[in-house]
Amino acid sequence: YILTANPYYNKPTQEGQDRHFKAIAEAVGNKPIILYNVPGRTAANLEPATLARLAEVPNIVGVKEASGNMTQIAEAINAVPETFLVFSGDDAVTLPVIALGGVGIISVCSNEIPHEMAALARAALANDWTTARTLHRKYLPLMQANFIESSPLPVKAVLAMMGRIQEIYRLPLLPMRRDLRSRLQKVATEVGLIAKAASPAAEAANFFIYENWAAGPRKIVLHRGSCGQCSHGKGRPAGHDVNHARWHGPYATLHDARETAHAMTGVLIRSECKCV
C-alpha cells in the first residue's frame, strides 16, 4: 500500500487535492493507495465530499482519518462505499471510529504495544465492547502521552526506555524536554512497559549528557548522575542557560551514554567530566 498525505504548505483547494491524488493514483498504476488526512500537520483538510469523489478511483482504497473531527469522520464514512477502508488516524478515537463503521487504526501506539492495539481493534470489530473498552481505558494515558511533545519524539523515547531502539534524532528534532520525558516515563511505567525507577542507590550509577549551545559550537559533556554538577540531571553548571542547554538521560551504563553521545548530531565538541 502507498500512504500519501494531504499536500502541505500551499493550502490547496478541494479541487486541487482531488486532482493531486488522482494524478498520484494514475502514476502508480494498480498499486493501492490509502489517503492520509492530517490537517494538523499539513494545513489542508480533505472534506467528505472530496473523499467520496476520490473513492471512485479504483486504486484509491481507503483513508487514514486524523482530522480529529468526529463529525467529519462520521460524514466521511457515510459518504464512501462500504468497501472503502476508513481507518482511525488517532489511537484515542479508535473505538468511536470503528463504532461508526471504520475498519481499524493506523496506529502510533502499535510501535509500543502492537499486540494490545491489535486486540483492541479486533474486539471492537467483533462487537466485544467490554474487552475493547477495558484495553482503551488502560492504554489511553499512553495514547495521550505519545503527543505531549512533537511526534515521534515520545514514542521513540518510550521505545528507547524499553530497550528496543537507540534514542537518536535528526535535526530539526531534538531529544525531549526533561520534565516532559519524566511525565512520559511515569506513564510508561504505570501501563507496564518499563520497570519502576531505580532506587536512589542504584540511580547514583546512572549517567547523563549535558548539551550546551549557548555560545560557539554545540558541546556535550558526559557526567555521572552523582556528580555535583549533574545532580542526577537537575544540576545547573556555571553559565547554564535554560534556553540553550539541556540534560539527556539517565543512561543505565557508561557504554550506553557514550554510544548516545557519539551518535548525537550537530555536536562539535565532546568531552567527559572528571567524575567519569
CB 1 within 8 A of CB 39: no
Distance CA 62, CA 96 (A): 18
CB 1 within 8 A of CB 34: yes
Strand order across the 219-224 sheet: 245-251, 207-212, 219-224, 269-272
Distance CA 276, CA 77 (A): 59
CB 247 within 8 A of CB 260: no
CB 42 within 8 A of CB 70: no
Residue whose cell numbers read 539527556: 248
| DSSP-derived pairing of the beta strands 33-37 and 60-65 | parallel
Upstream peptide bond of 250 is cis (omega within 30 degrees of 0):
yes
Find the Cα–Cα–Cα–Cα dihedral 65, 186, 135, 153, rounded to 10°.
20
Alpha helices in the chain (DSSP H): 14-27, 39-42, 48-54, 70-79, 94-100, 114-125, 129-145, 153-161, 178-190, 200-203, 254-263
- Residue in 1, 31, 36, 196 annotated catalytic: 36
36 part of the active site: yes
31 part of the active site: no
- Residue in 1, 11, 31, 64 annotated catalytic: 64
Task: Write out the catalytic residue numbers.
Answer: 36, 64
